[in-house]
Amino acid sequence: MIWSLALISGAVWGAPHTDEQREPELKELLRKILTSADCFGDRYEAEVWHKAMEPRLRAFVSRYEDRVEILDHVYCEAKRDPDLQMPPDLILALIEVESRFDAWAVSRSGAVGLMQVMPFWPTQLGMQNQLVRTAPNIRMGCEILRYYLRAEHNNWARALARYNGSAGRNSYPALILSRWQHAWRF
């Protein structure tokens, strides 16, 4: 039987504590982000990034169209906020660890999709649960991570640990940062 890394990660890295992720400020931020317009500003930069990263994604995602969709949304969402842009390649490392790019992955704690977003978010935001769809999952996941990055004063290790629900532990952030450095860094 093949186990999804997302299922294993719930056991290894600890299940996210749903109460930790229910901050009202984060709920309002996600509601605002989910209703905003598309975000590509510099199409040339996005295309260069896409061409460099698409071959790396082939090992995980067989269909070209699915790879393009993931890469476009990751790039767009990572760059969405001009005040706190995130490295898109780091988001790819996070997705690899969380779900191995399986949009249908579900962890033991109930986190869903590519970025393993907790299923209470769509309900909290008055939306349909579309967490298995690429665009809403990546958008929510990036905004949740960005929220924690701000809360942790741009400390990536602490923000990643909070994203995973493993605050105070370093193994999960170390794994993400290692995958970023060795496999995804652009």
Tell me the angle at which helices 24-34 and 134-151 cross, rounded to the nearest 10 degrees: 140
Burial pattern 109-148, b for ≥16 Cβ within 10 A else e, equals: bebbbbbbbbbebbebbebeeebebbebbbbbbbbbbbbb
> Which positions of the chain have pLDDT values less than 50?
1-19, 36-37
- Residue 113 is predicted with a pLDDT of 96
- Amino acid at site 155: N
Given this model, what pLDDT does residue 11 score?
36
Give the pLDDT confidence score for residue 145 in this predicted structure: 95
Report pLDDT for 137.
93
pTM over 0.85: no
